[in-house]
Structure 1
């Protein structure tokens, strides 16, 4: 199973788990994976691993917290990103791009955010802020940036 196929299963099972938490359906995700494996449409051997992961931990934070899946997807990350870069460069549609974006979202500790409308006020000095990179702004002088030592 490729890394880009693991992510949609992870997202789908997370949705089922969220509905179960909300509506108290008492769904056994290991049984869901076993049912899908025995079905007529999906039947992916990969679902045996999903069943085992949920049997070990019935309420994980997500499928990617299982050591086996985390290692497999993590090991595939560099080639996955390289293929994505080449596809983008060459103008080739890459249907696995959303899966890679989702993986990056859940595995990146800090992500950029869309500028808040209050950003202009911050830059004019109406409010203070704390930058976490290596260049703090000097508000007491000419507002220059200098590297932290």
Structure 2
């Protein structure tokens, strides 16, 4: 008999776990589920779906480089995709809100239906939306 496995949490290293957790709380409407001095777990409010995120403070944290890796610099190893309901206007509004909450818009934007941003610790993340099909 094999064990039952399920992915429960994505953990991101950060300059400051509490600062980064607070950013994603504001962005996603998540709540704190557990915290320690150098670690925070957040997730969707009870009764709603979604993936939990955890953040841990790393004294030697180095933010990744995106879109290209330069020799000797930390390469991007993962990013979060966050779906935006409502099409292009909602994507523009949520991008502006993310920036107001502390994100930074990436200079290079590869697609019309995706906005690449960096969180306060420099992790790339994408806001994306379904574009309307042909009429």
TM-score for the superposition, normalised by structure 1:
0.23
The structure where strand makes up a greater share of residues is: 2
TM-score for the superposition, normalised by structure 2:
0.25
Larger radius of gyration: 1
The structure where helix makes up a greater share of residues is: 1
**Greater relative contact order structure (CA < 8 Å, 6+ sep):** 2
